[in-house]
Chains A and B, each alone.
Chain A
Amino acid sequence: GAVVSQHPSWVICKSGTSVKIECRSLDFQATTMFWYRQFPKQSLMLMATSNEGSKATYEQGVEKDKFLINHASLTLSTLTVTSAHPEDSSFYICSAREVIHSYEQYFGPGTRLTVT
């Protein structure tokens, strides 16, 4: 099956610094990628939708200047958390939708971000 990877799987950073999370579709092309945030014992909340070569569309309440998303190619999207604060600590999951079978959506393994 199709595989989506995320790197890093776990990152600790100091408050005020920025951290970049990569999401790659390994064996398929993804025109659309989604970034979700998941707090402990809660559901996935969509942060933004990105299309290759276009600006991301952010959900209401998500600061686009704080969570920078770049979908530079059909296999790579990045989420950069700028000037991170402890409240940004969370589990971030990316998901990629395949070009051919548009109903297939594959999830990455997630990245645990801890801001100290």
Chain B
Amino acid sequence: AQTVTQSQPEMSVQEAETVTLSCTYDTSESDYYLFWYKQPPSRQMILVIRQEAYKQQNATENRFSVNFQKAAKSFSLKISDSQLGDAAMYFCAYRTPYNNNDMRFGAGTRLTVKP
């Protein structure tokens, strides 16, 4: 069974600094997708970034980028120039391309941004 592990329950970063959130996963599949979701206090899940496993290039979305290491099964999220609005729970997630397969989530990392 696929599992997703986030080993950092809480992280803190100074405003304008950079922070990296860790995620590892376990799978025997070769084709899959990885995601980072943000859940602010409103609890609406917001997609931050997505990575297809077949792509070697790391995904980036403005201040957000990932370090995808397929062999190590590692998928970390780097947030640059942290802003107060980045404070939230961040969930790493995994799923295969098959339509019925659900998304597996890590336990989450609570990010605090200090002014």
**Chain A window 100-116, contacts with chain B (Cβ cutoff 8 Å), 1 for yes, 0 for no:** 00110101011000000
- Min C-beta distance of B26 to chain A, whole Å: 16
A contacts with B, residue count (CB < 8 A) = 21
Q: Which residues of B contact A107 (CB under 8 A)?
A: 37, 44-45
B50 near A103 (CB under 8 angstroms)?
A: yes
Segment 55-110 of A: residues with Cβ below 8 Å from B: 57, 91, 93, 95, 97, 102-103, 105, 107, 109-110
Instruction: Label chain A's interface by main secondary structure.
Output: strand
- Min C-beta distance of A111 to chain B, whole Å: 10
Q: Which of B44, B97, B103, B106 contacts A102 (CB 8 A)?
A: B97
B45 near A51 (CB under 8 angstroms)?
A: no
A34 near B107 (CB under 8 angstroms)?
A: no
- Min C-beta distance of B40 to chain A, whole Å: 11
B contacts with A, residue count (CB < 8 A) = 19
Taking the complex as formed, is B64 at the interface, i.e. its CB lies under 8 A from any CB of chain A?
Answer: no
Taking the complex as formed, is B62 at the interface, i.e. its CB lies under 8 A from any CB of chain A?
Answer: no
Taking the complex as formed, is B28 at the interface, i.e. its CB lies under 8 A from any CB of chain A?
Answer: no
Segment 36-55 of A: residues with Cβ below 8 Å from B: 38, 42-44, 46, 49, 51
| A102–B100 alpha-carbon span in the complex (Å) | 9
Taking the complex as formed, is B99 at the interface, i.e. its CB lies under 8 A from any CB of chain A?
Answer: yes
Q: B-contacting residues of A (Cβ < 8 Å)?
A: 31-32, 34, 38, 42-44, 46, 49, 51, 57, 91, 93, 95, 97, 102-103, 105, 107, 109-110
Q: A-contacting residues of B (Cβ < 8 Å)?
A: 33, 37, 42-45, 50, 52, 91, 95, 97, 99-100, 102-103, 105-108
